[in-house]
Structure 1
Amino acid sequence: MKKALFLGAVLAVTPLAAQAADTSTPLRFVLIPKVVHPWFDKLNTGARAAADMITKTTGQKIEIEYRAPQTADVSSQNDIIERAIATHPDGLILDLLDEKGNRATMDEAIEQKIPMTVFDSLPPEGMNITAVGADFCEQGTIAAERLATLIGKKGEVAIMMGVPTAPNHTLRAECEKKVFAKYPDIKVVATGIDNDSIETGQKQASAIMQAHPNLVGWVACDASGPVGIGQAIRESGKAGKVQEVGLDNLNDMLQLIRDGVAESTASSRPEMQGYWAVVSAWQSAMGQKTPKYIDTGIDVITKKNL
């Protein structure tokens, strides 16, 4: 009921010309994430929920084509974007792996007059594109501050970087480092790179803990890293000795919290990001102006509120 009321409000402020548009032809949006990943499965669920809601409320069928790269590789993602552009969709919904590396294909979409929305990311500088996501700096800051408190604001810590070229991962890392820099007795002794792979994150975390036996805490910059970190902590028998504050709400991350391996996680609500990315894409396809940024907020998940 609330969704229907919301769409009614949106339609109430939509110009009559757009409201009178032909609803017999489906609108097709191509959703391209960073990589095949459980976090993006959650986002895709939210995207399809929004598509169903718009279809039921307006009678305009919304189709979502989900095309994910098998690995977090910019050239592979650009190839998928280019092939999507060739099909002339009504909109592209993108999570950028590299702001600079993705720009040329995005310029191509603009030349083809294909509307774009980005999610879990930030648009390249100068591009007037709606971005949907959490405040990535705030998310990283929350995680780092929680870890600092857990370790008594002293000791050696490490950061798992995710995909170093991804705008959201980079911003989280920068803000985590700023938090740790406030405390003279906290030292960042290592940074791992997991490239959005749980397996890689686990291997990186294990190697770093072996190289730094005095390590007392971990934070991450993506959804895969903290799961890999938690697995490494468990396998090394260091649960309770090495503290972890994770990111996002993957089922494996939540289980690590239940098991006491991780203390908490700061989640950027992937289902909500998918939902509002589709709403924004639909408005763009209807020729309407959309917000510069849609902040979907952050959930701090602990064992108490699971």
Structure 2
Amino acid sequence: MKLSSSLFAAAMAGFIASAAHAEGPITIGFANPLPAYPVFVEADKCFKETSAKLGVNGQTSGPTGLQVDNQFVLDRLSQYIATGAKGIILVPFDGPMYEPVMKEAKSKGMFVVTMNTGDTTKTQDVQVGTDYGNQGKVVAQNLAARSGQQNVIILGNQPTGVHRVFVNGFEAAAKSFPNVKLVAEGFDSGDPSQTTDVVSRIMTAHPEANVVLSWEGNAVAGITTAIKEKGAIGKVVAVVNDMTPEVVAGLKDGTIYGTSRQNFCAMASKGVESIVALSKGEKVEKNIDTGITFVTKANLDAELKK
């Protein structure tokens, strides 16, 4: 007996719904680049909470320690791809290195969300996180509010990628402030064990510098150590990222002038939400800016209460 077209369509819809139910929850893999670093601990926590709330099989992994290990992260991403995850969330510190695995994921029908990548990668479906160009602008504006000339050293992991986006934003804004000047850049390969030596050498080469600025969260200890070893406390200040205990301590004792507080919880949560929405065929914004707050000693207490 033949089914009418309407009955056939209804039967197929029921079959598809049953199959989808049988498949269980979708899997999303989060390749956490620094699970031991406080803000990424926060990101992990919010990733798991949002995954549970939305009925997602959320999996997260990453290297131990505080040094970026790109190959380790790439291997974890390959595992997520091989085991059939519906989407992946990653932090591509070195954009070109991550593009091939992102393209592989997309070729298999997976959704790709990047955190804090700006426009340094192109393959992702969604980018969530800090707009680094805007962050550079905000930092320059806040430095301009300090009295006197601000001669700035900017430290990054490498000359390209996120670092260049940040520096371009900083320099574009600095043109409007005569008392803010970029005097040198330095690079520590994302390795905090190199930071102190790199900063010390640049401070020696540029004795006029009185600000050491970095968007690298794991560079804080190295920067403050270099300032102390140079006997430059009170003469040179650090401007850093995030609100870790060591940053809070530095803000209180004056070694650190300011920090950009990023919203890593929102990054992870919105990453999960974006993949779930895309898996349902819904539209999602290509770029989701989770914002920053510039924190100094003046507004530290208020931020700590949040």
Aligned to 1:63: 58
- Three-state SS of the structure 2 residue aligned to 1:127 is coil
Bigger drift between 218-227 and 90-99 goes to 218-227
Amino acid of the residue matched to residue 92 of structure 1? Answer: I
Query: Shift of residue 32 of structure 1?
Result: 1.3
| Counterpart selection for 1:131 from 127, 130, 134 | 127
CA–CA separation in structure 2 for the residues paired with 1:191 and 1:46: 34
Check conservation: 2:62, 2:72, Cα contact below 8 A. no
Aligned to 1:263: 257
TM normalised by structure 2 equals 0.80
Mapping of residues 89-104 of structure 1, within 5 Å: 89-104=85-100
Query: Shift of residue 75 of structure 1?
Result: 4.3
Check conservation: 1:123, 1:129, Cα contact below 8 A. no
CA–CA separation in structure 1 for the residues paired with 2:56 and 2:105: 23
| Counterpart selection for 2:114 from 111, 114, 118 | 118
Aligned to 1:172: 166
CA–CA separation in structure 1 for the residues paired with 2:268 and 2:248: 20
| Counterpart selection for 2:292 from 285, 294, 298 | 298
Check conservation: 2:112, 2:125, Cα contact below 8 A. yes
Query: Shift of residue 241 of structure 1?
Result: 0.8
CA–CA separation in structure 1 for the residues paired with 2:32 and 2:165: 18
Check conservation: 1:69, 1:76, Cα contact below 8 A. no
| Counterpart selection for 1:212 from 206, 213, 226 | 206
Percentage of pairs with the same residue: 25
Amino acid of the residue matched to residue 247 of structure 2? Answer: M
State the number of aligned residues: 282
CA–CA separation in structure 2 for the residues paired with 1:95 and 1:48: 17
Relative to structure 1, the CA distance from residue 124 to residue 156 in structure 2 (aligned partners, 3 Å threshold; closer, same or farther) is closer
Relative to structure 1, the CA distance from residue 225 to residue 265 in structure 2 (aligned partners, 3 Å threshold; closer, same or farther) is same
Query: Shift of residue 127 of structure 1?
Result: 3.5
Q: Which runs of 5+ in 1 are unaligned?
A: 1-16, 55-59
Relative to structure 1, the CA distance from residue 93 to residue 282 in structure 2 (aligned partners, 3 Å threshold; closer, same or farther) is same
Q: Which runs of 5+ in 2 are unaligned?
A: 1-15, 301-306
Amino acid of the residue matched to residue 245 of structure 1? Answer: V
Q: Which has the larger radius of gyration?
A: 2
Mapping of residues 144-223 of structure 1, within 5 Å: 144-150=140-146, 152=148, 154=149, 156-165=151-160, 167-183=161-177, 186-223=180-217
Relative to structure 1, the CA distance from residue 291 to residue 86 in structure 2 (aligned partners, 3 Å threshold; closer, same or farther) is same
Check conservation: 2:224, 2:238, Cα contact below 8 A. yes
Relative to structure 1, the CA distance from residue 204 to residue 36 in structure 2 (aligned partners, 3 Å threshold; closer, same or farther) is farther
Residue 51, structure 1, aligned to residue 51, structure 2: yes
CA–CA separation in structure 1 for the residues paired with 2:241 and 2:151: 20
Amino acid of the residue matched to residue 266 of structure 2? Answer: M
Amino acid of the residue matched to residue 198 of structure 2? Answer: Q
Aligned to 1:26: 25
- Deviation track 1:182-217 (CA, whole Å, cap 9, x = no partner) reads 455654332111333333222221222233223211
- Three-state SS of the structure 2 residue aligned to 1:110 is helix
Bigger drift between 248-257 and 261-270 goes to 248-257
Check conservation: 1:28, 1:65, Cα contact below 8 A. no
CA–CA separation in structure 1 for the residues paired with 2:277 and 2:180: 47
TM normalised by structure 1 equals 0.80
Query: Shift of residue 155 of structure 1?
Result: 5.2
| Counterpart selection for 1:85 from 64, 81, 97 | 81
Query: Shift of residue 133 of structure 1?
Result: 0.8
CA–CA separation in structure 1 for the residues paired with 2:168 and 2:226: 24
Aligned to 2:244: 250
Check conservation: 1:144, 1:245, Cα contact below 8 A. no
Relative to structure 1, the CA distance from residue 261 to residue 212 in structure 2 (aligned partners, 3 Å threshold; closer, same or farther) is same
Q: Once superposed, which parts of structure 1, at least 4 consecutive aligned residues long, lie more than 6 Å away?
A: none
Relative to structure 1, the CA distance from residue 131 to residue 155 in structure 2 (aligned partners, 3 Å threshold; closer, same or farther) is closer
Q: Identify which of structures 1 and 2 has the higher relative contact order when contacts are C-alpha pairs closer than 8 Å and 6+ apart.
A: 1
Query: Shift of residue 63 of structure 1?
Result: 2.3
Relative to structure 1, the CA distance from residue 113 to residue 234 in structure 2 (aligned partners, 3 Å threshold; closer, same or farther) is same
